[in-house]
Structure 1
């Protein structure tokens, strides 16, 4: 009993306090002005309009200055809670003022003000990501590999939290309306060729002489009863592992995949958090690596090029890119920098924290070299003339038989001491389009242009 009590206080209590079904905390909204949510640079992302708070403290007074742009990151307070409004509900409705001030407020019928939440979100990066994705379905997740700060989390289609009451009936009655789904963390996407990062890592682990790899691509690899083709049947000719990665050669990688030990491949995937919990404090879906001892040759080859039943979210893929950028170490992602009381005192703050070593430094360095090749002469060469160094992997995941794909780019960029890691997916694009890489370039350009 004592052990459980301690566990509850340390681990579970905050989640239960923030649970949307816990009406005890919400009852405070009649006497406490809900705190403000700020961006990294002090811009108001959500606040309570205090003009009429003496007579009306309902959530209808909540204002969202950036409308659709931050909808999934910030969330809503009505019809259940989402995003930061849910995650920080307790803090936003807790004044954290001293006892004397509370007594004075009680006797004078003054309303208290909840704590303010200062986030790591960048208005500049969020706007750029949102505008580059506008008009499509998709998501972007951007973070600092060195600290773990989440700079941006965009999901489209989106909604304006200020008008949620007006559109709620439509959302609730249409099973195909997915505006409330945060695709950045809850998306279950087929990864396509971005998964070749994991296939490459496993090949390196099983073959110490991986630098001696050579493959002659004629545009197609044949297996027992089926074949795997490169995009448009293109023949890449003689390739090293670096070339195969840069050109995203399906023939080479399906052959590589077929040579791997499934049990070890699965372990590497789970080392990189597939089939595992993710270090996120917001709602998310776990990624799935499906191979096991009963998997067929077809299953294995499909999985090795990112097809089949493998699924992943942009947030998870951005974490993998972040670890590669940080020499194998994943810093715990976080979106709340600090909580501040209405009197200006810092109630709590987030420390930079190492979450896990996903790979060795040597493995990360090798993947960095391969990802640089993608942006130098491979499928991401649009990055070539940038004034920063870019590293990445493109992907086109087949989603139907009409040549539509999910377009991916995963990677990072650096300039001097500044680094930024990213994952972007755009749904149902014409095969062969470079939509995701174009979107990422816009974000990189905007980030490194700001001093």
Structure 2
């Protein structure tokens, strides 16, 4: 009988411990990732409670008013250019844009974090309670300016981050629309203007992925920096050929870089060399590098929803592995994630989580909560990041990214021209950063069906960098 009592006590203690642990985990999850639950359309409790609260304001990093409430409606920025530029980051009350600030931060905007005393005061005063206001890391004026640089009629995205903190200054998706004048034609637009390409758009990274392949080479090939590689312009794998830009096999026209170092191959974006590199490194090791940089991870960031990027795991033939090394195959990545990877190179190997929320302000203007940067992780050594910085600088000074160069400024970058399902037009990519202490900014630009990244995306990045440098000098 005593043995049975001891057994029951142990079982009870274990069950009690499990209950406490589950409760603690639930409280942690609700506090850390509760935004997703409060933003969910299936949360009928939150939806009903929102009717009793006037939503708080939304401000950019400079205090520029982006959204505010009257008793009966939600108002957005007076400047139409700002409204259009910020619409995908903000979202709108009609939920045309899902997972924007208006829905994802409703836990604050609708006062779900208010204290019992605050709720009681509103109740006994007989007034509709006002939710908290949020101060974002975004820069509305920069966003409007960057939007004006994007090619008219083209779809794509542009992201700017502070690579030391992860603060997101721009999260732009194209085409844009005005939340105050949504028409039926807006809803029927085949370019899907409600779709936030900056964080939801999954693109082939093209040659921007050579940053990942180059890192894997530095990790796995001891002579990667000193070896002489040979680009013949043509790599045959069975009946398939891997070629470089400018090659036309049907015209017997072949682009060959000849003998070159890995630095030079990166600078001129040699597909042949990077395809051979991937085969030599091996799919398992290249996958390990890519996953450390966030591929195949389930992103659960505090401030925003980012679609998961993917490195393919099935049908890994030599052809697929080789094309992966050059940034094609079935690789998919968001512009936000490419900006994170680029930021890690700039930040001595430390990748920061994207950060959109700076402060939460109570209705009386007092700070309820402040938010600190979070590191995603150390994804490369400082020595490796130094090598990649220098190679990315070489791309801008004498490679495929010269149109991003700014006199007297350390601009580093990588271009890409990503093919899609055999389509003739490629997506134009540029990712890069300012290696400047007073202007620690990284950028990711993709323009769909636009051609070469060096000729289309790099000039956009240059003008954004010039704007940022001007602001930093003030």
The two structures have a TM-score, normalised by structure 2, of 0.87
2:76 to 60, 63, 67: 63
- Asked if the contact 1:193/1:395 (under 8 Å) is kept, the reply is yes
Change over 3 Å in CA distance of 1:96–1:199 after alignment to 2: closer
Query: Could you say what secondary structure the match of 2:359 adopts?
Result: strand
Query: Could you say what secondary structure the match of 1:359 adopts?
Result: coil
1:221 aligns with 2:243: no
Distance 2:142 2:284 in 1: 40
Aligned to 2:131: 114
**Is the deviation greater in 215-224 or in 251-260?**
215-224
Aligned to 1:284: 306
What does the per-residue CA deviation read over 1:312-360, in whole Å, with 9 as the maximum and x for residues that have no partner? 0111111001111010001222100010001122111111222201111
* Cα deviation, residue 176, structure 1: 4.0
What does the per-residue CA deviation read over 1:236-283, in whole Å, with 9 as the maximum and x for residues that have no partner? 232111110000011111121221221111111111111112353423
1:300 aligns with 2:321: yes
* Cα deviation, residue 134, structure 1: 4.7
Aligned to 2:223: 209
* Cα deviation, residue 220, structure 1: 2.5
1:7 aligns with 2:25: yes
Change over 3 Å in CA distance of 1:348–1:108 after alignment to 2: closer
Aligned to 1:43: 64
* Cα deviation, residue 206, structure 1: 1.5
* Cα deviation, residue 402, structure 1: 4.9
Change over 3 Å in CA distance of 1:215–1:5 after alignment to 2: same
Q: Which stretches in structure 2 are left out of the alignment for 5+ residues?
A: 1-18, 248-254
Distance 1:275 1:29 in 2: 35
- Asked if the contact 1:96/1:341 (under 8 Å) is kept, the reply is no
- Asked if the contact 2:57/2:132 (under 8 Å) is kept, the reply is yes
* Cα deviation, residue 41, structure 1: 0.4
* Cα deviation, residue 216, structure 1: 3.3
Query: Could you say what secondary structure the match of 2:426 adopts?
Result: strand
Distance 2:110 2:228 in 1: 61
- Asked if the contact 1:278/1:316 (under 8 Å) is kept, the reply is no
**Is the deviation greater in 21-30 or in 347-356?**
21-30
Tell me which structure has the larger Cα radius of gyration. 2
1:241 aligns with 2:262: yes
Query: Could you say what secondary structure the match of 1:162 adopts?
Result: coil
What does the per-residue CA deviation read over 1:407-449, in whole Å, with 9 as the maximum and x for residues that have no partner? 0011211333321011111001135761111111111111111
The two structures, once aligned, show a CA RMSD in angstroms of 2.2
Aligned to 2:39: 18
Query: Could you say what secondary structure the match of 1:372 adopts?
Result: helix
* Cα deviation, residue 5, structure 1: 2.1
Distance 1:63 1:216 in 2: 57
Aligned to 1:197: 211
Distance 1:275 1:372 in 2: 29
* Cα deviation, residue 105, structure 1: 3.3
Aligned to 1:86: 103
- Asked if the contact 1:35/1:47 (under 8 Å) is kept, the reply is yes
Distance 1:270 1:101 in 2: 45
- Asked if the contact 1:403/1:431 (under 8 Å) is kept, the reply is no
Change over 3 Å in CA distance of 1:275–1:102 after alignment to 2: closer
Distance 1:34 1:163 in 2: 21
Aligned to 2:200: 186
* Cα deviation, residue 177, structure 1: 5.1
Query: Could you say what secondary structure the match of 1:184 adopts?
Result: coil
Change over 3 Å in CA distance of 1:372–1:356 after alignment to 2: same
Distance 1:406 1:83 in 2: 25
- Asked if the contact 1:220/1:251 (under 8 Å) is kept, the reply is yes
Distance 2:276 2:158 in 1: 31
Distance 1:278 1:126 in 2: 24
Q: Which stretches in structure 1 are left out of the alignment for 5+ residues?
A: none
Aligned to 2:93: 77
Aligned to 2:346: 325
- Asked if the contact 1:279/1:333 (under 8 Å) is kept, the reply is no
* Cα deviation, residue 62, structure 1: 3.1
Query: Could you say what secondary structure the match of 1:430 adopts?
Result: coil
Aligned to 2:181: 163
- Asked if the contact 2:342/2:433 (under 8 Å) is kept, the reply is yes
Query: Could you say what secondary structure the match of 1:274 adopts?
Result: coil
* Cα deviation, residue 163, structure 1: 2.9
- Asked if the contact 1:37/1:116 (under 8 Å) is kept, the reply is yes
* Cα deviation, residue 102, structure 1: 4.4
- Asked if the contact 1:97/1:342 (under 8 Å) is kept, the reply is no
